[in-house]
Amino acid sequence: MMHRRVSVLGATGSVGSSTLALMDEAERAGTARFTVAALTGGRNIERLAEAARRWRPELVVTVWPELKADLEHALAGTGIAVAAGEAALIEAALQPADWIMAAIVGVAGLKSTWAAAGTGAIVGLANKESLVCCGPALMARATTAGGRILPVDSEHSAIHQVFPHERPEGVRKLVLTASGGPFRQTPASELEHVTPERAVAHPNWSMGAKISVDSATLANKGLEMIEAAWLFSMPEAKIDVVVHPESIIHSLVECVDGSTLAQMGPPDMRTPIAYALAWPKRMPWQAPPLDMVSLGRLTFEAPDTERFPALTLARQALRAGGAAPAIFNAANEVAALAFLDRRLAFLNIAAVIADTLEMASASDLVGGSGDACEAALAVDQEARRLARICLDRREQAA
Ligand SMILES: NC(=O)C1=CN([C@@H]2O[C@H](COP(=O)(O)OP(=O)(O)OC[C@H]3O[C@@H](n4cnc5c(N)ncnc54)[C@H](OP(=O)(O)O)[C@@H]3O)[C@@H](O)[C@H]2O)C=CC1
Ligand SMILES: CC(=O)[C@@H](O)[C@H](O)COP(=O)(O)O
Ligand SMILES: [Mn+2]
């Protein structure tokens, strides 16, 4: 029976909770056993404490020091070690474990993902922003430490499941599928006025707020293009995107001999999480089967880069290389959060990304000294400063 010693960074979020739910289901079914080294969360103390009571980790961390007392109170009498703050988050990532889920949202997850990658553990990577900002160095760090990064993002999991690693020269193209998001059919004139509530109502997936907005702008697919480039060592020209509104095919690999391989499944993150958790084996869970007859047909269309320019901006950033992907990511995070806070109109998310990339290229933004993680964080900080200037200008013009 599979026995894994696991840590979950971002245990209270959508991916983190699904990971723990899968582990719970497998233990109850008697198909796997898990020991939990560390759990981390943010503001959702109730959910973090509940997970800690179930899994009895050696360390449980909230990143927010002001919430430490609440967490201690919630776990009083359990004997579970509680800590808080950025340093404690790194401590959690460094707890000995053989599998670590990186499921913090945004570049806030970079330091802990970097720390996890240095331990030699398998890192199940949901936190795509870390890879976008620090890609080749993060991949190399995991390999050097004797571990590896396994994608959890559904598209990259799909590619990992069909990618013929032993013959990388046999691949002509990676094709990422995109649902098109909640505004796939919304006219351009209406996009100006869409609300955060509409933007986070993804047609197929249940996810956290930030990635849901990214799906709505197609910035998510842009981040995923960059993620695919780093994960699979593919140049930008060999990565395509096709809109597939049903989210049944999770991505495709086109080979030089005319074969195209696809991975399919209902849109449920528990499948890519289970794949990474059990790799190189497969773990059973009560996954709903794919009923092809009731699906009837699958449809595809080209992405509309006029209405969703963030996709093109990401492609340009990937092609430019250097600091550009990290700048794209920082500007997107600033703009997407401002949209969620109702301080920025939907269409201005892509506009702020474009303005920031332009301003940053004029100032020739580069990371400071230190390792690749520190350099990426320095770029991120400066890009955020520029993005906030661009944001203020767009807000004032509105
Ligand atoms: N949801 C999905 O289906 C998918 C998600 N992903 C990626 O996975 C990652 C997580 O997404 P998702 O689960 O949806 O996000 P959620 O918003 O649901 O969860 C985010 C997690 O990160 C924690 N967190 C938030 N801010 C910080 C911070 N500053 N420092 C440390 N921890 C923090 C949250 O804690 P708390 O809630 O307690 O405040 C929570 O545990 C993202 O990178 C996303 O792009 C990729 C593919 C699919
Ligand atoms: C589940 C997952 O992997 C998300 O990243 C998903 O891809 C979002 O859907 P979109 O295709 O709409 O971006
Ligand atoms: Mn995805």
ipTM (interface predicted TM) = 0.99
Index of the ligand 1 atom closest to the CA of residue 206: 3
* Distance from residue 77's CA to the centre of ligand 3 (Å): 40
Ligand 2 mean position, distance from CA 220 (Å): 7
CB 61 within 8 A of CB 83: yes
What's the CATH code, domain 2-151?
A: 3.40.50.720
Annotated binding residue 367: no
Say whether 322-398 and 2-151 share the same fold. no
**φ, ψ dihedrals at 171, nearest 5°:** -100, 125
The answer for residues whose C-beta is within 8 angstroms of residue 83's C-beta and 6 or more apart is 59, 60, 61, 68, 91, 92
Cα 323 to Cα 396: distance, rounded to the nearest angstrom: 28
Give the number of whichever ligand sits closest to the CA of residue 181: 2
Nearest CA to ligand 2 atom 13: 215
| Per-residue pLDDT, 370 | 84
Picking from 35, 113, 39, 43, the residue whose alpha carbon sits closest to that of residue 81 is 39
Ligand 2, atom 2, residue with closest C-alpha: 154
Nearest-CA residue for ligand 1 atom 45 is 211
So what's the pLDDT on residue 395?
85
Q: What is the CA radius of gyration of the chain?
A: 20
- In this structure, the residue with its CA closest to atom 43 of ligand 1 is 127
Residues 181 and 212: their CA atoms lie apart, in Å, by: 8
Test site for ligand 1: of 46, 211, 332, most ligand atoms within 8 A of the Cβ = 211
pTM: 0.98
| Cα 153 to middle of ligand 3, angstroms | 5
User: 297: annotated binding-site residue?
Assistant: no
What residue ranges do the domains of the chain occupy? 2-151, 156-266+297-319, 322-398
Task: Give the ligand at the shortest distance from the Cα of 101.
Answer: 1
Token pair listed for 183 = 């505004």
Question: What secondary structure, in 3-state letters, does the chain show?
Answer: CEEEEEEEECCCCHHHHHHHHHHHHHHHHCCEEEEEEEEEECCCHHHHHHHHHHHCCCEEEECCHHHHHHHHHHCCCCCCEEEECHHHHHHHHHCCCCEEEECCCCHHHHHHHHHHHCCCCEEEECCHHHHHHHHHHHHHHHHHCCCEEEECCHHHHHHHHHCCCCCHHHEEEEEEEECCCCCCCCCHHHHCCCCHHHHCCCCCCCCCHHHHHHHHHCHHHHHHHHHHHHHHCCCHHHEEEEECCCCCEEEEEEECCCCEEEEECCCCCHHHHHHHHHCCCCCCCCCCCCCHHHHCCCCCECCCCCCCCHHHHHHHHHHHCCCHHHHHHHHHHHHHHHHHCCCCCCHHHHHHHHHHHHHHHHHCCCCCCCCHHHHHHHHHHHHHHHHHHHHHHHHHHC
Ligand with an atom nearest the CA of residue 241: 2
**Confidence (pLDDT) at 253:** 95
Q: Which atom belonging to ligand 1 lies closest to the Cα atom of 126?
A: 8
**Main-chain dihedrals φ then ψ at residue 328, nearest 5 degrees:** -55, -50
Name all residues whose Cβ lies below 6 A of ligand 2: 153-155, 178-179, 181, 205, 211, 215, 220-221, 269
> How far apart, in Å, are the Cα atoms of 159 and each of 15, 183, 215, 251, 259?
19, 26, 19, 6, 14
Q: Which atom of ligand 2 is nearest to the CA of 154?
A: 3
Backbone dihedral angles phi then psi of residue 150, each to the nearest 5 degrees? -110, 125
Can you tell me which atom of ligand 2 is nearest the CA of 178? 11
Fold of the 322-398 domain: Rna Polymerase Sigma Factor; Chain: A (1.10.1740)
Q: Which of 185, 200, 207 to mutate to test the pocket of ligand 2 (most atoms within 8 A of CB)?
A: 207
Q: Which atom of ligand 2 is nearest to the CA of 218?
A: 13
Q: Which residues line ligand 1 (CB under 6 A)?
A: 10-16, 41-44, 63, 103-105, 108, 126-129, 153, 205, 207-208, 211, 269
Q: Whose CA is nearest to atom 40 of ligand 1?
A: 13
Annotated binding residue at 281?
no
For each of the chain's 398 residues, which pLDDT tens digit applies? 999 999 999 999 999 999 999 999 999 999 999 999 999 999 999 999 999 999 999 999 999 999 999 999 999 999 999 999 999 999 999 999 999 999 999 999 999 999 999 999 999 999 999 999 999 999 999 999 999 999 999 999 999 999 866 556 789 999 999 999 999 999 999 999 999 999 999 999 999 999 999 999 999 999 999 999 999 999 999 999 999 999 999 999 999 999 999 999 999 999 999 999 999 999 999 999 999 999 999 999 999 999 999 999 999 999 999 999 999 999 999 999 999 999 999 999 999 999 999 999 877 676 667 899 999 999 999 999 999 999 999 988 87
Say how far apart CA 120 and CA 148 lie, in whole Å. Answer: 7
The minimum-distance atom of ligand 1 relative to the CA of 211 is: 45
Q: How far is the CA of 162 from the centre of ligand 3 (A)?
A: 16
Atom of ligand 1 nearest to the CA of 128: 43
Ligand of minimum distance to the alpha carbon of 217:
2
